[in-house]
Amino acid sequence: MTDPSDAPVLVFGPYNADGLAELKARFAHVHHLSEKNLSLLPAGERETIRAVAVAGTFENTDMADLPALEIVGHFGVGYDGIDAAHAATLGVAVTNTPDVLTDEVADTAVALTLMTVRELHHAEAHARSGDWETKGPYPLTRFSMRRKSVGIMGLGRIGLAIAHRLESFGVTIHYHNRSKRSDVAYPYHATLADLAEAVDILLIAAPGGASTDRAVDATVLQRLGPDGILVNIGRGSTVDEAALIEALQSGGIAAAGLDVFADEPRIPAELRALRNTVLLPHVASASRDTRIAMGDLVADNLSRWFAGEDLATPVPESAEAGLVRRAKG
């Protein structure tokens, strides 16, 4: 019987150092390309690769250039950069890393909301610069969390963890999903625009992909209104950035707290220039503890696959295709 640790693994592109070390500890043949460029891997080696570990995008063309590929382990919960349905037609399983980053992202979402509502980033700068001593106290903030309502777009694992945390602030939670959940009592809104109109703070925790592309558009922002606040820890592609910039500049909405952007790491200069924004460099899950857990889960899935065991976290497209365990032989 072939030793599962002998399966050649390609780490494709920039990858967490602890995660890479874990893969090297489990597999004897780990190839790391720091750039997502398969031409850097000799053709003879490309033909042997049976697993890929990747963060972010993995194109169908690259998938096609790895004829022995069996499984893709995605480092991250959102896998919209991988065509998992296409992979399934090729018999290639795809896994992701849910749950292990849920708490970290939810914590960051709450922190980002508080920063945006209470202008804590500006208050910190006021203290650090010496302005408190020379110019007096920081001005009273326009908003607080008191008597606020928060609408969550995407009440999945992360969205629900955010909702549970926000409940402790005494806010009212509303949500919008593709379908209504039967296990929560929060008010449900069938459209995103209706959700935006009903709440003070619109918080985006939805995955990316075609179904959510620019879903937060000018109409949604208009419904959120001049006292409304947008917070996004989901995907930058979910927000129409041009419409958001216009709304922030004109007073169409009050403020925005953003951890994600449409063209990362590039952030539009117009957003960076605005005082009524809090901008974070996609750090929602960026603690070493959480990234270690994510890397371990990628490695666990690859190890399980080659040992003939059930995958820990196959994505739905793989599960629906029956790609949850490697076939014998």
Query: Residue 183 maps to which CATH number?
Result: 3.40.50.720
Q: Based on the residue annotation, tell me whether 142 is a catalytic residue of this protein.
A: no
Dihedral, 12, 234, 222, 163 alpha carbons, nearest 10: 180
Mean pLDDT across 232-236? 96
> Do 133 and 271 fall within a single domain?
yes
Residue 195 lies in a domain: yes
* 235 and 138 share one domain: yes
Do 85 and 134 have their domain in common?
no
* Structural domain of 125: 102-279
Q: Do 15 and 88 share a structural domain? A: yes
d(CA 32, CA 36) in angstroms, rounded, equals 10
Q: Is residue 326 part of a domain?
A: no
Catalytic residue selected from 35, 124, 167, 264: 264
Question: How far is 58 from 153, CA to CA, in rounded Å?
Answer: 26
Q: Which tokens hold the place of 216?
A: 């937060």
Please report whether residue 327 resides in a domain.
no
Q: Are residues 72 and 162 in the same domain?
A: no
Number of domains forming the structure of the chain: 2
- Compute the mean pLDDT over every residue in the chain, rounded to the nearest whole number: 96
Listed in sequence order, the residues at least 6 apart from 155 whose beta carbon sits closer than 8 Å to its beta carbon are 163, 175, 176, 177, 181, 184, 186, 205
Q: What is the pLDDT of residues 131-151, one digit of tens each?
A: 999 999 999 999 999 999 999
Q: Are residues 301 and 202 in the same domain?
A: no
145, 264: one domain: yes
Q: Which of 74, 174, 176, 235 is catalytic?
A: 235
Whether 328 is in a domain gets the answer: no
Determine contact, residues 27/302, Cβ cutoff 8 Å. yes
Look at residue 11 and tell me if it is in a domain.
yes
167 belongs to a structural domain: yes
Q: Identify whether 217 is part of a domain.
A: yes
Does the residue 325 lie in any domain? no
| 158 strand-pairing partners | none
Compute the half-sphere exposure of residue 78: CA atoms within 13 Å on the CB side of its CA. Answer: 24
Give per-residue pLDDT as tens, 47-97: 999 999 999 999 999 999 999 999 999 999 989 999 999 999 999 999 999
Residue 282 is a catalytic residue: yes
Asked whether residue 111 falls in the same domain as residue 256, the answer is yes
Do 267 and 305 belong together in one domain? no
Q: Are residues 275 and 305 in the same domain?
A: no
Span 261-283, pLDDT tens digits:
999 999 999 999 999 999 999 99
Residues 258 and 296 in one domain: no
Q: Are residues 118 and 245 in the same domain?
A: yes
Does 104 qualify as catalytic in the annotation? no
Tell me if 16 sits within 8 A of 287, measured CB to CB: no
Supply the pTM of this predicted model: 0.91
Catalytic hit among 165, 282, 309, 325: 282
